Every structure is written in structure tokens, then in C-alpha cells.
Amino acid sequence: MLSYIVLVIVFLMSGVARPLEASDKPEIEDTVAYARSLATSSRRAEALELLSKRLEERPQDSDARVLYGIILSWEGRYDESRRELEKVLATNRTHGDALPALINVELWSDHPERAEELTRDGLRDRPNSSTLLLARARALKNLNQQGAAVQALDRLLAVDPVNKEAEQLLGGLREGSRLWEASFDHSYEWFSDGRSAWNEDQLSLKGRTPVGSLIGRFSHANRFSLSSNQAEIDFYPKFRPGTYAYLNIGYSPDATLYPRYRFGTDLYQSLGQGWEGSAGYRRLGFGGKVNIFTGSMAKYYGNWLFTGRVFLTPDSVGTSRSFNFSARRYFGEGINYWGLRYGRGASPTEIRSLQDIAVLNSSSFYGEMFRMLDRRWSLNFRSGFSQEDRIGRDNLRHYLASGALYFRF
């Protein structure tokens, strides 16, 4: 009897110690739930592969197809995502998950008019859907229909009074409806060799018009016991959704530190899938005329904005090339942000004064922060440094600290 018990114990222990074979591994009972857990754990490629195989086996699995489309949209693959979600909506035009997902795709790919149309259709069947009302408000906001967006949010809050996203968006819309914004900016720049610092103050007034924002700016600079003044106007006309321009005209009556005149223009165009490109020109009236050609490419990815810009400045000895790269992380409803910027070349930022055209080559690093303090006041702060080769001096360290205060009314 004892020997029999010993044999049973040995058998059981050997079974426990035996490594699991592939056939022993538990099968995934809910493929969609597992794929969702992969996607939310930064393993989107694995999730997409798993769902793709699932749809090959079961093409009618709408839950798998909706999640497949949602993950594709997270990856910025909007055309593929749209196709998958539209397959689901073809059989159920008000699908509770596919419709909001497709609306997001249209918003993220800069098609607010299509997003607004989808929300309107969905609300016919579900007039009190918080999800659709919030999406409709966002689409109307992107179409610059602020009043209609506020109405949609008021309706949403009547249905769901504690909806935090609606409250936040409504607050932003009401603040954004203020037509005027005044600001004061002070910047201080100093150098490693002890040369005279650069001080600059700017006062600006921004107004919103039916065709775009208009900004008037007055700048005053001091350096080497010299002072100089400059007046500028910026205009951002909008031509159609996704297409707008930038125009700048400036004049300095003394032309001591600023150029006698300045002119700049850019044309911006949305390219779809979160991409935006621009091309532009600058002309500065220093003692010798300075012409600058510039272009940029920007990508919106979730709450991030990545931008690369190049400056080409031709002169008698050739064409100098400069570039900068910046990254911004937005918070809330895309108002507050922090950002970083790296630049390389003779003019990795906009040339504004005699101080800027004295740079032969540089590498610069800057950080910035913008934050709403309350409904009317906001603050912007920038700081950084650059390593520069200037006329008559190499390896010069150049530091910057700048702060701006804004007031809306």
C-alpha cells in the first residue's frame, strides 16, 4: 500500500514539473477583448495582426472590425480606418461604436463638414446621445460655427448635467468668442562674453474678423544705449476649411535696430491625415535687402504637434540654409501646451533685428509653456540658449528669457 502511494505521488509531481506544451496553453476566449488590451498596452501592431486574422476567419464579426478600424485611426491610417468602419455602418448605420469612431476619423483627418453630417444623421435616431452631441459640438467648432456648437453643448448638459468634457469645451468656446485680446511681452537676452544685453518689449492687440485674425504690434528694443521702434500688422485670412494664409507688414521709423521695413507671407494647406504644409517668403529692408524663402511641414498626432521648418537665404556668396524642429504637447481642449524647439543654421528662427543677421551659424535649444490662468488671463513663457558663431566671435553662448501676459475682453 505504501509503495502504491509513493508511486502516485511521484506520478503527480512529474506531471506538475512537466513544462506546458503548446497544446496546453489556454485558448483566448474573447479575441476582441485581448486585442483591446494589446492596443492599450502600446502593442498596436500585435492587436492589428490578431484582428486581421480574426476577420479573415469571421468577416461578419462587427466588434472585431470596429476595433480594427479604431486602432487604425490611432495609428493615423485614416483611409484604411474609414473603409473598415463604413463596412460596419453599411449594415447598421447607427452602430453605437462604429459611428462615433468614424466621426473621430473625420475630425482627425480635417473633414469637419463630414463629421457634422454624420452627427446630424446619428442624432435623428438618438437625439439625446451624449457621445454624438459632444462630437457634433466639436465638428461645429472646427467649422467655426461657435453659436451652433454652444447650442449642442447646452442640449448635452441638459441631458447629462455633470459631463466634464462638455463643460470644458463649452468654457473654451465662450472664452474663444471674445473678440479682442491684448498682450504685453518682455524678453531679455544676454551673452557669455559680457557684451551688452538685448531688451525688447512688445504690445499687441488681436481682433477676430469674419475672414481671419488681425494683430497690431508695437515693439521697442534697447541695446548699446541705442533704442529702436517698430510697428507691425499680422493678418491670418481663411479661404476655405484647411486653407489659410499669413501676411506681415512692418515699418521702423528710425531703422536703428530693426529693418526699415519688413514683409512676409505664407500659404498653409491641410494635406489630410493630420498633415499641414506651408510655403512662404520674407523681405527685410536693412542696409542691404534680405530675401528669405521658407517652407514648413507639420503633423498632428493625438495631442501632439510636430513641425519642421526650413529657411533659405540667398546672397552674393551662395544660399544659407537653416532649419528648426519643434514639438508641442496640448492639454485640455487644445489651449494649454508646453513645447521644445531645436534649430540649426544662420537663422533657425525668424530674423527680426540687426542682432539676428550677425549670426553666421548656431545651434539653439528652447522650451516654452502657455497656460490659461482663468477665463480672461493667460501666460506664456520661453527660455533657452544657443551656441553661435558670429561676425568676429566663435562659440558665443546666447541666452533668452521671455514672458508674455494676455488679457481677453
Quote the mean pLDDT of the chain.
88
pTM: predicted TM-score of the whole model, two decimal places: 0.67
What tens digit of pLDDT does each residue of 61-92 get? 999 999 999 999 999 899 999 999 999 999 98
What tens digit of pLDDT does each residue of 154-197 get? 889 988 888 988 888 887 787 666 779 999 999 999 999 988 99
pLDDT of residue 350: 85
What tens digit of pLDDT does each residue of 309-368 get? 999 999 877 899 999 999 999 986 668 999 999 999 987 788 888 888 878 899 999 999
CATH number of the structural domain 29-176: 1.25.40.10
Tell me the CATH number of domain 180-408, given options 1.10.10.10, 3.50.40.10, 2.40.160.40, 3.40.50.720: 2.40.160.40
Of 346, 262, 337, 347, the closest CA to residue 306 belongs to 337
> How far apart are the C-alpha atoms of 119 and 11, rounded to whole Å?
65
Cα distances (Å, whole numbers) of residue 200 to 58, 186, 227, 235: 66, 6, 10, 22
HSE (side-chain half, CA atoms, 13 Å) at 303: 11
pLDDT of residue 22: 35
How would residue 138 be classed by pLDDT, with cut points 50, 70 and 90? very high
Write the DSSP symbol of residue 57: H
Q: Is 164 left (phi over 0), alpha (psi -120 to 50) or beta?
A: alpha
What are the extents of the domains in the chain?
29-176, 180-408
pLDDT of residue 9: 43
What tens digit of pLDDT does each residue of 95-136 get? 989 999 999 999 988 889 999 999 999 998 889 899 999 999
